[in-house]
Chains A and B, each alone.
Chain A
Amino acid sequence: MIQETLFLKNTETFAESLARCGVKYHFAYPITPATDVMKRMAVILPRYGGQMMQMESELAVSSALAGAACTGKLVATSSSGPGLTLMHEAIGFMCAAYLPCIVVDSMRVGPGDGDILGAQSDYFVVTRGGAHGDYRTVVLAPSSGQEIADLVPHGIRLAYRYRIPVVFVIDGVSAQTTESTTLPAYNDYSAEFDTSGWAFTGTKDHAKRALITGSYSHQDGYEMNERLRAKYEVIRDKEQMWEQDGVEDAELVVAAFGIHGRMCRDLVSRMRADGKKVGFIRPITLWPFPDRAFEALGSCVQNILVVEMNLGQMVDDVRLAVNGRIPVHFLGKTGGDLPMYTLADMIAEADRLLGE
């Protein structure tokens, strides 16, 4: 496939980007607002020599994902909050077993089965971990169709470089938005990495090797956790990503990811046009959280406003990053006909904090 600009739902952009960047097997179970990813995968993956498999449940999906990942092939799944919740046992196992994969979470209103409307309420579950144990997954939060296409190659490289599940999160409103997006030409990014030291490919060309496992005892468990700790330190050090604008002389910094982060560009340009000193930080990696963006804020910053489509999740990480140095405020909601605050609402709250 050649590079081309298409008009796609962002769920479809995920499918196109994953297939064009080397995903061979996609396992999924239908759930709004993520079903369009698997639907398009079913149509296009055979063109790339791959296949989409609809399993009988999300438990089966995640087990198939872990099993296929053991072969070193690039594998992916797509789901939404309630489905992702069911997958966590396998995701925790994959972290212990050093297995790469790509997970797409199209977030909707929770808790419980919740609502099919979009939300950003899975921030905790993807950054803190929905399974037991000390583990982390890389979490990427694109804010537009183009950013999905641009980030997928990077996400695949992270998954293989660190042998770790990489989770893409997008709110359901953005997932269902249709945009013009320039998609890349086909390139299997996982092929850049040598998997011969660990992948199960049969014993034709090598001796039988130890089972990839998430089970261990005593000293083994200690050593494995220390290896994980060291790996997570490297990721924290090297892989923080964010977008920022106008923070150098800002009195107020607005922090938001995904759709609200994208809206911050308009917020800052409008408020700056009125002479108001406002900047924004849009985390692109939710884990590792871009602490550095907040640590670097100067003494001119008097307040930080965090905006989310939830009741306050990323705001905790912002508070940890500024460590009491700057007051942190929160604006967020979940559910409703429009399950988010509008740009006008965001500007009104920003004005209030500026004392206007």
Chain B
Amino acid sequence: MLHKCTISGSGGQGSALMAKMICLGAIKEGLKVVMTQTYGIEQRGGDSTAYVIVSDQPIGSPIVENDADIAVALSSSTYANCFEGVVPGGSLFTNSSMVEAPRDARGFRQVLLPVSDMAVELGTVRCANMVMLGAVLAGTGLLRLEVAEEVVRESLGAKKPQLVELNVNALRAGFAAMEKEGN
């Protein structure tokens, strides 16, 4: 089992947190994970991309080289790179609230979900990343939903218990929306 993921968004949209949640959940399942991020001279509002590799074997190359089988574009500014970095047969999850003119996917699946709008309905746009994570789990089987919920409880439970319910609901909403799409 090997998954390579590219998770992109604008700074503040929580793409790095989403990537970290995937990693923590995968570790719970006894899997190996590697996460790399761009680092250097960054600013808020700039693009942020995290690369995650999940495997049941020790991981060789830690670099995702335009060969992601799971890609997430939370913002329009990161969409083009994500679109071009999906392998044939892979899945691109596009935040259609932000990406106004999505391109036609050839050779891979594109899922269009308005996760920012869905997040606003749930209470705040800031949980759009968790809506998207729920959708990714339903669409790829990357992790079980219960494991992701456990990670949310453990990560936020101690310091910000009031955010647990919101984020768990966001995960479930994304998961349900994706299931409704018929995977």
Contacts and interface: CB of A to CB of B under 8 A. Distances in A.
A is bound by B: yes
Given A179-B33, A259-B62, A5 B23 contact: no
A342 B39 contact: no
Nearest to B30: A5
B1 to A, nearest CB: 14
A7 B60 contact: no
B20 to A, nearest CB: 7
A266 B61 contact: yes
A117 interface: yes
Contacts of B58: 144, 146
Contacts of A264: 60
A7 B22 CA distance: 11
B92 interface: no
Interface size class of A (residues with CB under 8 A): 20 to 34
B32 A176 contact: no
B62 A262 contact: yes
Contact of A180 (B33, B36, B60): B33
9 contacts: A5-B27, A7-B35, A144-B58, A144-B59, A177-B35, A177-B36, A262-B60, A266-B61, A342-B65
Contacts of B33: 7, 179-180
B98 to A, nearest CB: 24
B45 interface: no
A180 B62 contact: no
B120 interface: no
B61 A177 contact: no
A343 interface: yes
Contacts of B65: 342-344
Given A176-B37, A177-B34, A7 B23 contact: yes
What are the nearest 6 A-B pairs in CB distance? A266-B60, A265-B60, A263-B61, A178-B35, A266-B61, A342-B65
Interface string A118-147: 000000000000000000000000001010
A13 interface: no
A80 interface: no
Interface string A251-263: 0000000010011
A177 B37 CA distance: 7
Interface string A160-195: 000000000000011011111000000000000000
B63 A263 contact: yes
Nearest to A32: B39
A85 to B, nearest CB: 22
